[in-house]
Amino acid sequence: MLNQIGNYSLYIALLSSILIIVQSPILLNRNNINVSGRIFSLISIQSLMIIISFIALIIAFIISDFSNETVYNNSHTSKPLFYKISGTWGNHEGSLLLWLLVLSIFLLIFTITSKNLSNKYRILTIFFQEIIILGFLLFILFTSNPFMNLFPIPNEGTGLNPILQDPALAIHPPILYLGYVGTSIIFSSSLAALISGSVNKIWAKHIKDWVLISWIFLSIGILLGSIWAYYELGWGGFWFWDPVENVSLMPWFCLTALFHTILILEKREMFHSWAVILSITTFSLSMSGTFLVRSGILNSIHTFANDPSRGVFILCFLFILITLSIFIYFFYQNKIKNNFAKTYIVSKETAVLVNNLFMMFFLSVVLIGTVYPIFLEVLNNDKISVGPPFYHKLIVPFMIPFLIFMAIGPNFSWIKDKTNRINLQQLLFFILSIIISFIFLKRVGVSYLFSLPLFIASFFLFFITIRDFSAKKTNLSQKISHFGFSLFILSVLVNGVLAKEYSSNMKVGDERKFLNKTINFESLIIDESKNYQSLQANFKITDKNTSINLKPEIRVYDQPQTITSEADIESTLYSDNFLVFNILKNDGFYNVRYQIKPFMIWIWISIILISFGGILSIVKKNG
């Protein structure tokens, strides 16, 4: 029953999509017709149908309707309700339906909120967005239908990957998708603006909100993924330069560059073409991300779905979209008003260009590092791994000038800054940063090649962004985001330099000395939970005056049978105590890993601050 409802509503949505695509070129030539007529009702019907099908899938998951193949493959009656619901998008078919849902709802929001813009621009945006929606509908209906019937109806499902049964990971995909899919509107509207010759201030002002919204969701989505990796994957890190993590970072770099460019376009009517190119690139990266993750060609912990035929479909679709946009770009490029206003070297405009240069560099490092091994294997049959050392070697040296530039750049005036002014205050902060970094690194005893300049640059940015709170030139949301970023870099660096780790094999009753602390393996109990068995350990960590208890767990899930380690983390403002243990083959012994991670919580707080700056900017404008 639910399967039929889901299927039929998707077919109706497909029909509306085709109707809109066929009608829009006709409406385009009639200037006096308002979009809010027939096309608007079609879009509303389409969104409604997709919402219905999505709700049908959620209900199928909630009531464990195993006549649905997707539910059978990804759910189990013993799962808690929350994970039954999050199971809806914890799999390939469901996550694509979620993509589609967001695509259509965003289009509806776009149509409602763009009423005061030109008809031609709106219809064209709807047209391109519908092409994307059509592609996804075809993809879902013919290669990854979430409403496949299963007969005879099984009594029990096969379960959801236990590693995905986690609150942060349950909401991570929807948030990330809102970011990814938000870029589709940017893509469609930039092509529409290009064709209708309206790449200008008004377009910039209108699309800025979409850029910000996508950027905020993407940032929070990445944050949730990192927090999850930190406490669930059991190695105490939050970023591994894993291909799937990289895939979410690439559109982030692009969106950050685009946002800064859009600001210039809005204020000074410059960099029109570049804004359009960035808009197209951002969406292509989001789509490629979905393709890379879904096709299973990446070797990664995240690839929970892989099927080559699906990969081929997305690849073809991606190829069509990119080719189409390149053609449109070169065909209509001459419509762009190119503004050759003079750009002086010391000006806000140049600062944004340099910001874009660095963003594009970081993007290219991550992009090339992620896809190069795939191409090399296909062409040469050589398998290589590109991991953290590669990214650190290429990114760290460029981070130093980038951070210094980020400190100075935002304070430049528009058009032309007084070049011959020596900023005494900045100089003082710089000297202060040198002294602090030098003393800090000397005391810690670190002597890597880049650590001193890197610390100097990040302290400098940190001081300047704090000072900027009293400056008048920039707005509050920018100050918060930039300060958040400097805090982020500094926390990551301090955390990296000061983190301490101890690993040993212990059995119950063992005691180990580490630095000035004693680690006691006090007890181990077995506990039964609804859908797993757990081994709960109790460790006591004592130093001179304090003691804390950490209770990590090993969980044995039965549906499907999997063992996971749950770290126990005690967070304070200064430092995290992280302890995780694993089963060893030797009887009675467990591998215990204890880590002290200073300023860990500030990494999360700083990313929240970065995103908050964006939220504030939207709220202030519309409130």
Can you give the binding site for other proteins, defined by CB under 8 A? 233-235, 237, 240, 242-243, 299-303, 342-345, 347, 349-350, 353-354, 357, 360-361, 364-365, 368-369, 372, 376, 380, 382-390, 393-394, 398, 501-505, 507, 512, 565, 582, 584-586, 589, 591
Question: Sign of dihedral through CA atoms 422, 484, 185, 620?
Answer: negative
3-state secondary structure of 565: strand
Residue 325's region, left for phi above 0, alpha for psi from -120 to 50, else beta, is: alpha
Bridge pairing between strands 511-514 and 590-598:
unpaired
Least distance from other proteins to the Cβ atom of residue 485, Å: 20
What gap in Å lies between CA 111 and CA 120, rounded to an integer? 12
Q: What is the rounded CA–CA span in Å between residue 239 and residue 223?
A: 10
Whole-number Å distance between alpha carbons of 493 and 454 = 9
Q: Least CB distance from residue 406 to other proteins, whole Å?
A: 16
In 468-523, alpha helices (H): 476-498
Cβ-based nearer residue to other proteins, 175 or 298: 298
Tell me the angle at which helices 272-295 and 243-268 cross, rounded to the nearest 10 degrees.
160
- The smaller minimum CB distance to other proteins, of residues 147 and 391, is found at 391
Give Rg (Cα) of the chain: 26
What are the tokens at 215? 């950027």
Q: In this structure, are residues 250 and 285 in contact, taking their beta carbons and an 8 Å threshold?
A: yes
Closest CA to 183 of 242, 239, 234, 110: 110
For other proteins, give the closer residue by CB, 14 or 386. Answer: 386
Minimum Å distance from CB 46 to other proteins? 38
H/E stretch holding 532: strand 532-542
Q: What is the dihedral of CA 266, 268, 273, 275, to 10 degrees?
A: -40
**Residue 519 Cβ vs other proteins, minimum distance, rounded to whole Å:** 11
Cβ closest to other proteins, residue 37 vs residue 588? 588
Query: What CA–CA distances, in Å, run from 80 to 160, 166, 406, 553?
Result: 11, 11, 47, 19
Q: How far apart are CA 202 and CA 277, in angstroms?
A: 18
Cβ–Cβ contacts within 10 Å for residue 312, how many? Answer: 13
CB closer to other proteins out of 173 and 614: 173
Shorter beta-carbon distance to other proteins: residue 48 or 584: 584
Nearer Cβ to other proteins (66/557): 557
What angle is formed at CA 42 by the lines to CA 38 and CA 48, rounded to 5 degrees?
A: 145
Smallest distance from other proteins to CB 469, Å: 29
DSSP 3-state assignment of 92? helix
Smallest separation (angstroms) from other proteins to the CB of 365? 5
Least distance from other proteins to the Cβ atom of residue 166, Å:
17
CB of 369 to other proteins, least distance (A): 7
Which residue, 40 or 514, is less far from other proteins as judged by CB? 514
Residues 6+ apart with CB under 8 A from 572: 601
Q: How far is the CB of 361 from other proteins (least distance, A)?
A: 5
Q: How far apart are CA 192 and CA 197, in angstroms?
A: 8
Cβ 27 to other proteins shortest distance, Å: 40
User: What's the min distance (Å) between Cβ of 243 and other proteins?
Assistant: 7
**Which of 394, 608 has the CB closer to other proteins?**
394
Q: Which is nearer to other proteins, 428 or 444 (CB)?
A: 444
Pick the closer one to other proteins by CB: 369 or 598. 369
Q: Dig out the tokens for 493 from the structure.
A: 């660096």
State in angstroms the smallest separation of the CB of 432 from other proteins: 30
Residue 78: alpha-carbon gap to chain centroid: 31
Minimum CB distance to other proteins smaller for 152 or for 445: 445
Find tokens 């490092």 and name the residue: 365
